[in-house]
Structure 1
Amino acid sequence: MKKTIKYLKRSGLLVLFPVMIITACGQSNADKQKDTPTDNEQADSGFVHIFDGKTLDGWEGDSAYWRVEDGMLIGERKASDKPLERNTFIIWKGGEPADFELTLMYKISPEGNSGINYRSDPVASIPNALKGYQADIDGKNKYTGQNYEERKRTTLAYRGQAVEVPDDEQGESKNNAWTTVIVKDTLGDLDKLKSSIKEADWNECRIVAKGNRLQHYVNGILMSDVVDNDTKNRKMSGSIGVQIHVGPPMQVAFKDIKLKTL
């Protein structure tokens, strides 16, 4: 009885009737459980699910490589499949957001190479292809978290870099990186950043695109930070999509894909 009274005082409740004790105990048990946000809670937070976990409705890609299974969006190239000639995407058709936050969970096989494209454009001459900013993902965590611009300026920021891309028409891609990028700061010890990314397990990726600033987080840790002042080449809105990269057989899985416009 003393424990109950102490708990109720801490909760700011007055013990007037026995039913209030039962209610408080019920709240205590619920607090111990891991809650799943309701649709209303998601709406209140501003995030909406853009993948329903059941179908590919609202997404467009090659069904030979993309499927839905157990609530996951899975991209896979099997050993028995014909090797890919180029990277292939499944693209969200629900809009071309400008300023937003995108969060999702991903898991990738050890030999896998993938990415999350945003503010991107379809490639007119190639089906299921995008060009634009990409939050890189790979199974060996060599590139995960960096900002790589697919089919455009290539690497804008390696993992652990805060950079500025100047408004300089002399820039070019050399050794798979944009030459005029200015590194303004570092985001932490590179070994520690890498060790915070789980191999062959679920990780959370969060992309924040606001104005000309692009931030990539993995498991809550900022991995790259780009301020893009390159008015000729930057993109301020565009498509979202996820990728299967050319190379060895691989699998990547995504779930809980949520978008909030800013």
Structure 2
Amino acid sequence: MKKSTLFNSAFLLVCVSLLFSCSEKPKETIPWVNLFDGSTLNGWHQKGGNANYTIEKGTIVGSTVYNTANSFLTTDKMYDDFILELDYKVDSTMNSGIQIRSNSFPYYRDGRVHGYQVEIDPSPRAWSGGIYDESRRGWLNTLDKNPEAQKAFKQNDWNHYRIEAIGDTIKTWVNGVPAAHLIDEKTKSGFICLQVHSIKPDKKEGTEIVWKNIKILTDSLSKYSKKSPIEPIVTKNKLTIDEKKKGWKLLWDGETTKGWRGAKLETFPESGWVIENGILSVLASGGAESTAGGDIVTSESYGDFELTVDFKVNEGGNSGIKYYVDTNLNKGAGSSIGLEYQILDDDLHPDAKLGNHEGSRTVSSLYDLIQADINKPIHPVGEWNTAYINSKNNHVEHWLNGSKVLEYERKSDDFKVLVSESKYAKWPNFGELKHGQILLQDHGDLVSFKNIKIRPINKTKD
């Protein structure tokens, strides 16, 4: 072969190689951030119990111990929206989970870790990848209707989790198989934990779960998020699995006015209240009490009960949740009379400095009678808070965001003294009804409500 021919062939080969190399797009590097460096626990600390966490051959090993609470190896950083991936291998007798958007506050169950948990479940139930609300609401998204995900978990082998928490949506995958799809507004931010569950005496101490390849994405999440074919479970204005089991009922369905009427009307007010996107709001009308739509009450009355309501007050706002109300009594009053869980912007509304006892008109107080704990865990104006009222055998408690802020004995001598010194003194036997309605107050300010639920005892018709 001539030299010129050899040169031309070589030149052609180089050109073809360059052509193909130029046409190939470089593989994109996803900007993962490692949460575990493979050799230390830098960036992590332990909360809760005293399980053992060690590092072995580039992995984190968690092992059980007796006589301790659930243990959580917790990130130092807080995360809101993210995509998390990791691998784990778990003993077949052990229950565990990955906490996300979790928190620990002194006021909440003495600092107990609480929040979303992506379940690790090697038991025959096989709910690995399901979503549990640790130390709070219980199961939110089980896998009993997702057999493909139940089969995806590999016993005594490495398993891969992908967890997406973006906005109000949490999605999980187990070994690439879609597992859970939850839409829930409860918590927007928190830490991530690797859980070692507490064990009972019949379980073997020292059982292990091993984690590795723990990495997170926090940027350009819409670009890297994956679609899930699973129909999402929506919790807004719905009962959770555990709430259904415990006898809770929706007091408002999130869509209609069913079960409610105007306190001074036979029907629901035609104006002053709106329902939009699963939120019930009383509209602003200049701050005067009951000038537009007026108060609304339940069509049923309740004796002993537990009540929970999410509420949001705007700047300078005032409203309340009343209980043991009888709209047939005290018809001359500007607002229906009853015991009141106060809703208020404590910083800007003048009522915060008024009341029979100083501070007895601040948020979550028993209005005009008992001041709520001054260290109450209130979220800022414009954000959602959760009110909880428990009334059983005349013992009443007010809670705010998971913390008890006051308690009293209804009908007791001390209670009667408080009433006699208050604005309620002119109403005989105030607050002593055996049964009464639940009322949401129109005080002329924009205030919103959702997730209104009751666990009734001794319920009667209006």
Matches within 5 A, 1:182-261: 188=146, 190=147, 192-229=148-185, 234-247=186-199, 248=203, 249=205, 250-261=207-218
Higher relative contact order (CA 8 A, sep 6+): 1
Distance, in Å, in 1 between the alignment partners of 2:63 and 2:12 is: 58
Identity, % of aligned positions: 31
Matches within 5 A, 1:99-114: 99-114=81-96
- Which residue identity lines up with residue 151 of structure 1 in the other structure? S
Match of 1:169 in 2: none
After superposition, the C-alpha distances for 1:31-72 in whole angstroms (9 at most, x for unaligned) are: xxxxxxxxxx99x41210010010111111277510111110
Residues 63 and 245 of structure 1: CA distance in aligned 2, closer, same or farther (over 3 Å): closer
Distance, in Å, in 2 between the alignment partners of 1:71 and 1:145 is: 24
Match of 1:134 in 2: 117
Distance, in Å, in 2 between the alignment partners of 1:127 and 1:254 is: 28
Matches within 5 A, 1:35-74: 44-61=29-46, 65-74=52-61
Deviation at 1:140, TM superposition (A): 2.3
Distance, in Å, in 2 between the alignment partners of 1:50 and 1:202 is: 19
After superposition, the C-alpha distances for 1:182-229 in whole angstroms (9 at most, x for unaligned) are: xxxx6x4x1x32222100100100110011011111111111111114
Matches within 5 A, 1:127-166: 129-140=112-123, 142-159=126-143
Equivalent residues of 1:111, 1:138 under 8 A apart: no
Residues 16 and 217 of structure 1: CA distance in aligned 2, closer, same or farther (over 3 Å): closer
Residues 14 and 252 of structure 1: CA distance in aligned 2, closer, same or farther (over 3 Å): farther
- Which residue identity lines up with residue 143 of structure 2 in the other structure? R
- Which residue identity lines up with residue 172 of structure 2 in the other structure? H
TM-score, normalising length: structure 1: 0.66
Distance, in Å, in 2 between the alignment partners of 1:70 and 1:127 is: 36
- Which residue identity lines up with residue 91 of structure 1 in the other structure? T
- Which residue identity lines up with residue 70 of structure 1 in the other structure? K
Match of 2:102 among 116, 120, 124: 120
- Which residue identity lines up with residue 100 of structure 1 in the other structure? F
Distance, in Å, in 1 between the alignment partners of 2:67 and 2:188 is: 30
State the superposition RMSD in angstroms.
2.9
Equivalent residues of 1:208, 1:216 under 8 A apart: yes
Identify which range, 192-201 or 45-54, moves more after superposition: 192-201
After superposition, the C-alpha distances for 1:139-189 in whole angstroms (9 at most, x for unaligned) are: 2262211100100111001016xxxxxxxxxxxxxxxxxxxxxxxxx6x4x
Residues 14 and 72 of structure 1: CA distance in aligned 2, closer, same or farther (over 3 Å): farther
Distance, in Å, in 2 between the alignment partners of 1:88 and 1:123 is: 16
TM-score, normalising length: structure 2: 0.39
- Where do 4+ consecutive residues of structure 1 move more than 4 Å? 125-129
Distance, in Å, in 2 between the alignment partners of 1:120 and 1:255 is: 21
Distance, in Å, in 2 between the alignment partners of 1:108 and 1:63 is: 19
Match of 2:320 in 1: none
Residues 92 and 155 of structure 1: CA distance in aligned 2, closer, same or farther (over 3 Å): same
Equivalent residues of 2:50, 2:71 under 8 A apart: no
Deviation at 1:108, TM superposition (A): 0.2
- Which residue identity lines up with residue 71 of structure 2 in the other structure? T
Deviation at 1:123, TM superposition (A): 4.8
- Which residue identity lines up with residue 157 of structure 2 in the other structure? D
Equivalent residues of 2:50, 2:68 under 8 A apart: no
Equivalent residues of 1:117, 1:130 under 8 A apart: no
Match of 2:260 in 1: none
- Which residue identity lines up with residue 147 of structure 1 in the other structure? I
Match of 1:15 in 2: 13
Residues 203 and 257 of structure 1: CA distance in aligned 2, closer, same or farther (over 3 Å): same
Structure 1 or 2, whichever has the larger Rg, is 2
Distance, in Å, in 2 between the alignment partners of 1:51 and 1:228 is: 28
Match of 1:76 among 60, 63, 72: 63
Distance, in Å, in 2 between the alignment partners of 1:204 and 1:49 is: 15
Three-state SS of the structure 2 residue aligned to 1:45 is coil
- Which residue identity lines up with residue 122 of structure 2 in the other structure? G
Equivalent residues of 1:87, 1:129 under 8 A apart: no
More strand by share: 1
Q: Which runs of 5+ in 1 are unaligned?
A: 1-12, 28-40, 161-185
- Which residue identity lines up with residue 56 of structure 1 in the other structure? L
Deviation at 1:128, TM superposition (A): 8.8
Q: Which runs of 5+ in 2 are unaligned?
A: 1-10, 22-26, 222-462
Distance, in Å, in 2 between the alignment partners of 1:108 and 1:127 is: 29
Distance, in Å, in 2 between the alignment partners of 1:76 and 1:45 is: 33
Match of 1:174 in 2: none
Distance, in Å, in 2 between the alignment partners of 1:127 and 1:103 is: 31
Distance, in Å, in 1 between the alignment partners of 2:190 and 2:51 is: 25
Deviation at 1:118, TM superposition (A): 0.7
- Which residue identity lines up with residue 53 of structure 1 in the other structure? G
Identify which range, 46-55 or 141-150, moves more after superposition: 141-150
